[in-house]
Amino acid sequence: MKSPSHSVLGLALSAGILSASILTASTGCAPAQVITPASAADLPRGSTPVQLDPSAFSVTIDNPYWPMMPGTQWTYRETDGTGDELTVTVTVTHDTRLIANGITARVVRDTVRRGSEVIEDTFDWYAQDHQGTVWYLGEDTAEFENGVISSTAGSFEAGVDGALPGVVMPADPVVGLSYRQEYYAGEAEDNGEVLSRSELAQVPFGQFSDVVLTKDTITIEPDVAQYKLYAPGIGPVLVVDVSGGAGGREELVSMSTVPLGTGTGPLGAPQ
């Protein structure tokens, strides 16, 4: 997914769209127990292990708040508090991957560039359960300096070395619902909470209503928080740092359909 540093956000704060109740919302946490998700109320939290049936999952991802049809490509403009500008390209590939926990996932390519230089490149792995919840099953990620890999921190695969799957979009994003997005102890411990499903968002790609707003936090970086907004039929359109980050935002610039094979190639050299 997906690290919170590369999410989508934008004008909500400056436009005064977010309410005071949202600004004071907090994230919940469930006691540790093994659960088998069957509904929105049974989503994973914290380091709670989950038992998932691979036969209950599909690489067809059609959740209305984040549909991932192969060939879809989103392009985002990301800026930080200093004005530094990056381009983030997210491509749903036609590729799949068998994850260690037995689930077959859709491969989504997330490439971050400064100008023409790739500075971060990631293969993210997603699958959707029969309820319509979109699960995040891991990532193979690398940061680059002068064309050379400088770090692979944050890479994980559900079912390997204690890493656990998480959720990026519930089937029914009820206000107040909280969930784990990813868990790999000390490396990736992200959480989400639904704050609203009736927001407005305006970005270069367009203006959207009935937008879902989430608050994303990181257990191992407790001062960091972001708001993310998801438009029906589109997916993520806006993300804004609200604390602990670089004061940045990421906003959707374009959405298109790209040819078969786009998003393939080794890390650092996307097609």
* Percentage above 70 pLDDT, the chain: 85
Q: Which of 24-28, 49-53, 214-218 is most confident? A: 214-218
CATH 1.10.10 for the 4-257 domain, yes or no = no
**What is the per-residue pLDDT across 157-194, written as a single tens digit (0 to 9) for each?**
999 999 999 999 999 999 999 999 999 999 899 999 99
Buried b (16+ CB within 10 A) or exposed e, 84-114: eebebbbbbbebebebebebebbbbbbbbbe
Does the pLDDT value for residue 197 go beyond 70? yes
Spatial distance between the Cα atoms of 108 and 198, rounded to a whole number of angstroms:
27
pTM for the full model?
0.86
Q: pLDDT-derived band of residue 65, with 50, 70 and 90 as boundaries? A: very high
Quick one: which of 137, 176, 7 has its CA closest to 78? 7
Q: What angle do CA 71, 73, 78 make, to 5 degrees?
A: 165
β-pair type (206-218, 104-114): unpaired
Q: Which of 6-10, 117-121, 179-183, 194-198 has the lowest mean pLDDT?
A: 6-10
User: Smallest Cα–Cα separation from 99: which of 75, 120, 123, 73?
Assistant: 123
Average pLDDT over residues 71-84: 92
- How many helices (H) and strands (E) would you count in the chain? 1, 15
pLDDT digits (tens, 9 = 90+) for 247-271: 789 999 999 999 989 999 999 988 7
Rg, Å, the chain Cα set: 17
Structural domain spans, the chain: 4-257
How many CB atoms within 10 Å of residue 117?
11
